[in-house]
């Protein structure tokens, strides 16, 4: 289980960096769109492609943030009854929620990767002035989805092992709702 914890910690570090990088890219895209709006208004000139780049940045930042949200227990959950349950029951429900994350994240990673492969195979380009080869922004997006799937798998597997060894508190700490949101 120690090796699994190390793998999870490594994925968490990668997740933080990916979230920061894609967040900065999204911020830069926002500045570019603002600049484009101002230039268009004042000088009747457009930086063709600002909206295209901002779309790619939004997709990358969203996918990049999914695993970080998993590690920080920031995904939305309904906890009206959950917080009234005993710890062991919470831990079992947390593992079930983790398994649903694995299913969804795995499907997203599979479909995202298939989209990248298809775009690269058929040399698909955006129907915009830049004619961006779509596999490039899709690869960044798919990387975030793959990292999310890996994070979900490793975290849930570690929680299952903790639960099976009788460590309900440890399983809950990995996959449960953040204690700050329960109060």
Q: For the residues 42-65, what does the mean pLDDT come to?
A: 93
Tokens of 167: 């460590």
Q: Residue 107 is part of which domain span? A: 2-182
For the chain, give the percent of residues with pLDDT over 70.
97
pLDDT higher than 70, residue 13: yes
Query: pLDDT higher for 79 or 43?
Result: 43
At residue 128, the pLDDT reads 87
Q: For the residues 150-171, what does the mean pLDDT come to?
A: 96
Tokens of 45: 């000139």
Report how far residue 39's alpha carbon sits from residue 165's, in angstroms, rounded to the nearest whole number: 62
pLDDT higher than 90, residue 183: no
**Total count of domains within the chain:** 1
Closest to 120 measured CA to CA, from 141, 137, 134: 134
Phi, psi of 94 (to 5 degrees): -65, -45
Q: What is the pTM of this model?
A: 0.90
Report how far residue 90's alpha carbon sits from residue 77's, in angstroms, rounded to the nearest whole number: 13
At residue 180, the pLDDT reads 58
Residue 14: burial class (beta carbons within 10 Å; 0-12, 13-18, 19+): middle
At residue 182, the pLDDT reads 44
| DSSP secondary structure letter of residue 64 | H
Report how far residue 28's alpha carbon sits from residue 44's, in angstroms, rounded to the nearest whole number: 22
């Amino acid at each position: 289980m120690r090796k699994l914890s190390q793998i999870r910690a490594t994925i968490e570090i990668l997740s933080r960096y990916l979230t920061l990088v894609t967040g900065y890219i999204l911020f830069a895209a926002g500045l570019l769109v603002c600049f484009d709006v101002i230039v268009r208004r004042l000088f009747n000139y457009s930086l063709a492609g600002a909206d295209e780049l901002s779309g790619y940045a939004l997709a990358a930042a969203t996918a990049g943030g999914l695993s970080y949200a998993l590690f920080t227990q920031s995904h939305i959950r309904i906890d009206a009854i959950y917080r009234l349950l005993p710890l062991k029951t919470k831990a079992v429900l947390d593992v079930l929620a983790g398994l649903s994350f694995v299913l969804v994240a795995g499907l997203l990673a599979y479909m995202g990767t298939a989209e990248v492969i298809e775009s690269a195979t058929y040399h698909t380009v955006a129907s915009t002035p830049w004619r961006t080869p779509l596999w490039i922004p899709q690869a960044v997006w798919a990387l975030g989805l793959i990292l999310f799937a890996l994070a979900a798998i490793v975290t849930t597997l570690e929680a299952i092992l903790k639960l099976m060894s009788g460590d309900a508190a440890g399983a809950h700490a990995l996959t449960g709702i953040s204690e700050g949101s329960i109060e």
